[in-house]
Each structure stands twice: as C-alpha cells, then as structure tokens.
Amino acid sequence: MRLPWEMLGRPAGVICYICELYTKRGELVGEGRGAREVLKEQDINKAIKMAQKSAQIDAVLRTGALSDAFTQDLEDVQEPEEQLVRQQKHRIVALLKLLGTGAADKAGYEDLVQQYTGLALVPALYPDIIARLETRVTARLRTRAARGGARTGGASAAEADRDERRRPDADRHADRAVRAVATSGT
C-alpha cells in the first residue's frame, strides 16, 4: 500500500494522514486519506488538523459507501428542490387551465397568477399560489353545483344567461373549464 505522501510524489511541506476504522473486535473495516500543504495554510497546527479531519471524513465516506450522497463540490450538488419546483409549475398550469385560462409564455402565466392570487409567480410562493388556485377551482365547482340546483328550482334560462353575462370574462372562462372537467369526469 502506498502512503499518501508517496502518492503525491513525496513533496516537501505536505502533511499526510491515514485514518483507519476498526470494529470493537479489532477488525479493520475501512480507511481514508487526507493531506494539506503547510505553506498554503501558513499555520502548521491548522494544516495538521485539516489533514486529520480530511482523512477522517474520507474514511467514513468510503467505509459507509456514502461518497455519492455527500460532496464538497457545489457544482456536483443537484438541488433536491428542482423536481419539486417542476411539479409545482405543472400543477399551477393545470389549475389555471381548470380555471379556463392558458398562456403562451411566462409573462402570460405571471399575469394570470397575479390576477387570480395576487401573488408573484416565483418559486418561493408556489405553494401559496397552488393553495389559492385550488381554493378558486373548488369554489367554482361548488358554485356550479349550487347554480345547477337553483336553476332546476325555477330560475329561467334567460336569468341564468343574464347572470352569466354580468360576470367578468375570466370567471366565465374558468367556469366553462370547470364545467367541462366536471362533466367529463376528469
């Protein structure tokens, strides 16, 4: 087995450590290596401690096969939130479609979210946006169900059409989408 110092080509001014991990019965289960340049740290005590810590961390990561789970390279770290954010975006678009709206670009979706929720379309607010849009969709479904019941109780088609025309365009479009979804069973 080559020592870390030999692996580096035996340079002067480098401190190298090997950390060995043993079971309670004395069996070697893993090892790690660490090195630091004394000149780079400009403090020999600090260089020693950093080389020791590096060897200990390397031993634990290697022994536990944890190298893929932990990294010191920030560019290797994938945001665990990326998938969640993508799912939230899809949910927002689906809810807007249920409300009878759609947009061709990001600016259009930003306007629609602002109109329906009063919130800016930013990832930090996605959960709140989804909650508000779900509330609107649910309210639309309930309103539709209640209106359907009221119409059978004697309201004329002319009165229903008049009420429909008085509502803002966005509300009418949303109700049409909700009605289409409700009748199709999706």
Give mean pLDDT, residues 57-81.
68
With a cut of 90, say whether residue 129 has pLDDT above it: yes
With a cut of 60, say whether residue 179 has pLDDT above it: no
pTM of the model: 0.40
Q: With bands split at pLDDT 50, 70 and 90, how would you rate the model's confidence at 100?
A: confident
Integer angstrom CA distances of residue 49 from 38, 84, 149, 172: 11, 39, 77, 69
The amino acid occupying position 174 is A
Confidence (pLDDT) at 72: 57
User: Would you state the structure tokens that stand for residue 102, as one six-digit string?
Assistant: 């759609």
Confidence (pLDDT) at 77: 53
Confidence (pLDDT) at 127: 93
Element (H, E) at 63: helix 44-63
With a cut of 80, say whether residue 120 has pLDDT above it: yes
Mean pLDDT value across the chain: 75
Q: Cβ distance 38 to 13 under 8 Å?
A: yes
Tens-digit pLDDT profile for residues 151-168: 444 444 444 444 544 555
> Any idea what the Cα angle at residue 26 is, between residues 21 and 27, rounded to 5°?
65
User: Would you state the structure tokens that stand for residue 60, as one six-digit string?
Assistant: 């634990």
- CA pseudo-torsion sign 128, 133, 136, 142: negative
Give mean pLDDT, residues 124-142.
90
Distance CA 75, CA 131 (A): 33
Confidence (pLDDT) at 62: 81
Element (H, E) at 130: helix 126-152
Q: Is 34 exposed, middle or buried, given 0-12, 13-18 or 19+ CB atoms closer than 10 A?
A: buried
Confidence (pLDDT) at 117: 92
Contacts of 136 (CB under 8 A, 6+ apart): 95, 99, 116, 174
Tens-digit pLDDT profile for residues 12-22: 778 888 889 89
